[in-house]
Copies of this chain bind each other. A is one copy, B any other.
Amino acid sequence: MTRTASVVGASGFTGGELLRLLDGHPEFEPVQATSRSATRKTVGHVHPNLRHLDLRFSDPGELESVDVLFAATPHGVSMEQIDRFRGAAERVVDLSADFRLPTEAQYDEWYDGHDRPDLLPESEYALPEVNREGVRDATLVASGGCNATAAILALKPLVDAGLVGDERVVVDVKVGSSEGGAGGGDASSHAERSGVVRPYAATGHRHEAEIEEYLGLSVAFTAHAVEMTRGAAATCHAFPDEPVSTGDLWSAYREAYEDEPFVRLVAGGGGVYRYPEPKAVAGSNYAEVGFALDPGNGRVVALSAIDNMMKGSAGQAVHAANLACGFEETAGLDATGFHPVGAP
């Protein structure tokens, strides 16, 4: 029996990606797509890939009753609208940062406080790789952020295996322009944004809090905008207290991910694609994770690459919804990616 789903904020990039995934999903049917700016237009008017869909944007003020509501709204909307959302749906999967952190104090430190701290304890963080059991049957899910996903997946095996400890780990991330969402000002115009290597968050990025919370490790985070539309890649530089071997690293990474359906390990070997690359996962829900050992500097370089629209947002949200509803984990998420592909 098909479950109904709605997407609130469906004219944004993430909302469109959710519609695409729900349309192709064996268990879900997208029955509502809300948009303030495009009300009554067809979804294909905004998302040209969905021109075949017979669905029009509706007013976000009038929510239909559905099984799962996906909120793809800007930061701050979900915490304000959460009662309406939960009134309309048994389960809410929120793609914003509004319910990711567990305490009000963290929102006071990293954001502008929180309207509904009472709900934080019941929200389940959905990086399934770190909280799979919590997400099962959850009714309020906070889908993990793209940069946090990339960083956590790269480093988690090192933390789990006790290979990194108190020392500072550097996380140097490179992301595509879809992270900024539809809209955006001068900095996201094509002429200003194309071809950049732009340290748009040299320090102080809010995802640092999310990474530290769910990784259990302090990191020094920097994010760069580079020339791609989809994709995020994390290069993490860790300096273990004790020497480690390549064998130790393979053990740690295999242990962490051998049963994970959406993580694949790529670490060296021959050919063109020897380490994780956003191009290799573009259009898919896969994360590539890998590492390189730098014995001369006592360093482990931990690497990951995702499609930020998929594993970094909409794909991850559907993955979480699959878990919450008791579906096959990979339902609707088995697309493979492309080769070759340009700036994805």
Q: Which residues does A use to contact B, with CB under 8 Å?
A: 13, 16-17, 20, 23-24, 41, 45-52, 168, 170, 172, 174, 176-178, 180, 182-184, 186-199, 202-204, 218-220, 222, 224, 226-231, 233, 235, 237, 239, 264, 266, 269-273, 275-281, 283-284, 292-294, 296-299, 301, 303, 305, 309, 334-344
The answer on a CB contact under 8 Å between A204 and B337 is no
Q: How far is the CA of A177 from the CA of B197 in the complex (A)?
A: 14
Q: Which residues of B contact A296 (CB under 8 A)?
A: 203-204
Instruction: List the B residue with the shortest CB-CB distance to A291.
Output: B202
Q: How far is the CA of A189 from the CA of B179 in the complex (A)?
A: 12
Instruction: List the B residue with the shortest CB-CB distance to A280.
Output: B48
The answer on a CB contact under 8 Å between A342 and B340 is no
The answer on a CB contact under 8 Å between A299 and B203 is yes
The answer on a CB contact under 8 Å between B195 and A228 is yes
A-B contact pairs, 12 of them (CB 8 A): A13-B339, A52-B336, A177-B342, A192-B272, A195-B278, A197-B231, A197-B277, A199-B303, A222-B301, A226-B226, A227-B228, A229-B340
Q: Which residues of B contact A298 (CB under 8 A)?
A: 168
- Complex partner residue of A230 from B219, B275, B341, CB under 8 angstroms: B341
The answer on a CB contact under 8 Å between B195 and A189 is no
Q: How far is the CA of A72 from the CA of B52 in the complex (A)?
A: 31
Q: Which residues of B contact A281 (CB under 8 A)?
A: 49
- Complex partner residue of A183 from B45, B47, B186, B299, CB under 8 angstroms: B186
Q: Which residues of B contact A41 (CB under 8 A)?
A: 271
Q: Which residues of B contact A228 (CB under 8 A)?
A: 195, 197, 227, 342
Q: A45-B271, A195-B228, A341-B344 are in contact. Are A220 and B237 (CB under 8 A)?
A: yes
